[in-house]
Amino acid sequence: MVLKKLISEAEALLRWVGVEKPLIQPARDPRFGEVTSTSAFALAKSLRRDPRKIAEEFAAKIDLSNARLINSVVAVDGYLNFKVDWQRYSEEILKTVIGQGEDYGKSNIGLGKKIIIEHTSVNPNKALHVGHARNVCLGDTLYRLFSFLGYDVVVLNYIDDSGTQMADVILGFKELGYPLEPPDGARFDAYCGDTVYVEVSRRIEEDPLLAEKRRRIAKLIEERDDEYYRLNREIVEKVLKEQLKTCWRLGARYHILNMESDILSYDLWSEVFKKLIRVGAVYKAESGQKAGCWLLNLSGHPVLGREGDEILVKSDGSTTYVARDIAYGAWKLGDTSRDFKYKVWMRDPWSGEILITDVKGDIEKPLGEAEKVINVIDIRQKRPQEVVRYALELMGLKSDKYIHFGYEVVALSIKDAVKIGYEPEPGQEFVHMSGRRGLYVKTDTLLDMLKEKIKLEVREKHPGWSEEKVEEVSEKIAVGALRYSLIKPDTDKMIILDADEMLKLEGDTGPYLQYSYARACRILEKTTREYSTKAPVELVEEEKQLLRRIAYFPEVVEDVGESLLIKTLSNYAYMLASDFSRFYEKVPVLHVDDVELRKFRVAEVLAFKIVLGNVLRLIGVQPVEEM
């Protein structure tokens, strides 16, 4: 892209004066130039000379007669600063962006390479709450990012259809008399989570006999008992269909749904377990509280070893979720001879096929070798995920490809918690969500609440709009507000959601970005849409800064692909919108007498619209042309 062209030109100039490995990067302070070189500092050590003198000598020798974008090189305190010919540089930027449109920033660095991303993976016994939504939005942004970079991306959703959380629900339906059909037309996922799961959890705390029945049901499900397994699968699929509706509302796509019970049915664990035994990574406890259990030996791990070895197989022969995750991880890394079979379960709203594991399925889909296997799982699972990675390492697999993309949890503001009936304690600042206590805000509930607020404002501002348009725009703004608020913080920071804050049209919010996009659309609508990339002799600073930011976009995307710091994308979007706001205030576009200058500035607005639209789609915030 254009910034790379500029860097390449600077590198060529340095090679011409004898620098074998030029070090070039964007300048921190554009007053000194667009890119800068630290090559003089690198050479100063080996030459035992003052880097300032070296830089001055290079600057004096550089011949700019064949340079196209660079018009001067200045040595400052050992740095070599390259300034550009803004007429040529701005023309190059605008031609590239407008010419490539929605492809601007895309890359082929992932061509022929595969990325596997597992995200969401919510127990199929409840509706998705806003904590789960952070997982969905982070995982889906990674999918969008790597697809944009040219990778073949496969998105997995791990469906934990066994274990105590499902036994709770089965216990409610089989033993406690809850009907399978929810009352009053409620959604099945909400009914299972809000009513059955919460009430069963409460009653188990009061009655130890129910806890024993739950253990028995969990064992029957894992053993694929005909009655209990069939009922369990029916409930799982009904809940899952509702959960996916929420995920689709957030814009998330999936390719494969892996049922946890099938990891056992396809005997993946058995194969992996034998390998662990063969390499001496596991042992059977002969005495003590863990007698009869198989444990992973963690003594060789510098951190995990201090916390004790990990149980993989209980004394009754049932596996732990860590054991199943190890088998699943080995499969994702392509190290199992056995593989799943699938059937097409449904199509998503974008007509994409969703496969689900099925022992009677007739579809085979080998994953092949992946560059990265990214597992989006909250930070509370840091230890189990590190246990999985270490087990894969002990088996001789490329465990460095197995990445735990951890993130902190989402809490509720006191204000929003009170709205759902929570009574805060004195001095309490936020409320942690709990599925067992029924204390959480469902994603759809929050989106609906946001949407209703937006609809009131939209109707007031646009009384002539049809109800269909009001619905469409309000939905986009609501989803954009939530998605942006969930991905913009550092992933290691807890989020305290506040519905009022995320809807603000000023500041670092999704609606602000959508408003910036709509503002650009309005400007373009008021023109004849004629534009020109031919720059004036002089550009004002606000123009330069906007164009500079636009030129950074391809490199920002590639950097995030390396670092996985999704926050960088949201930061870039906000800074781009802020640069455009300053441009809008200081640089006339429509009211300029010079026709050619007006056409050039129209091109700047068009380029901004293209780039902001591209980054918004990357982070899953839908552009809105009118607000």
Indicate whether 609 pLDDT > 90: yes
Over the stretch 162-192, which tens digit does the pLDDT of each residue have? 878 899 999 999 989 999 999 888 999 999 9
Looking at residue 479, its pLDDT comes to 98
CA 337 → CA 270, 332, 477, 576, distances in Å?
11, 12, 47, 49
Task: Show the beta-strand stretches assigned E in 285-387.
Answer: 294-296, 310-313, 342-347, 353-357, 372-376
With both helix axes pointing from N to C terminus, report the angle between 130-148 and 467-487 in degrees, rounded to the nearest 10: 90
Q: How is the chain split into domains, by residue range?
A: 2-84
Instruction: Report the distance separating Cα 156 and Cα 425, nearest Å.
Output: 40
Looking at residue 170, its pLDDT comes to 96
Over the stretch 441-490, which tens digit does the pLDDT of each residue have? 889 989 998 999 999 999 999 999 999 999 999 999 999 999 999 999 99
Over the stretch 262-279, which tens digit does the pLDDT of each residue have? 877 888 999 999 999 999
Choose among 174, 176, 260, 180: nearest CA to 217: 174
Overall average pLDDT of the 384-389 stretch:
98
Looking at residue 46, its pLDDT comes to 87
Reported as a pLDDT band with limits 50, 70 and 90, residue 420 is low
Instruction: Report the distance separating Cα 495 and Cα 515, nearest Å.
Output: 24
Topology adopted by domain 2-84? Gyrase A; domain 2 (3.30.1360)
Reported as a pLDDT band with limits 50, 70 and 90, residue 421 is low
Overall average pLDDT of the 234-244 stretch:
97
Across the chain, mean pLDDT equals: 94
Reported as a pLDDT band with limits 50, 70 and 90, residue 437 is low
pTM above 0.75, yes or no: yes
Lowest mean pLDDT among 368-372, 423-427, 448-452: 423-427
Over the stretch 44-80, which tens digit does the pLDDT of each residue have? 988 889 999 999 999 999 999 999 999 999 999 999 9
Torsions phi, psi for 377 (to 5 deg): -140, 140
Choose among 116, 24, 14, 175: nearest CA to 374: 116
Given a contact cutoff of 8 angstroms between Cβ atoms, the answer to whether 369 and 114 are in contact is yes
Looking at residue 498, its pLDDT comes to 84
Looking at residue 223, its pLDDT comes to 84
Reported as a pLDDT band with limits 50, 70 and 90, residue 389 is very high
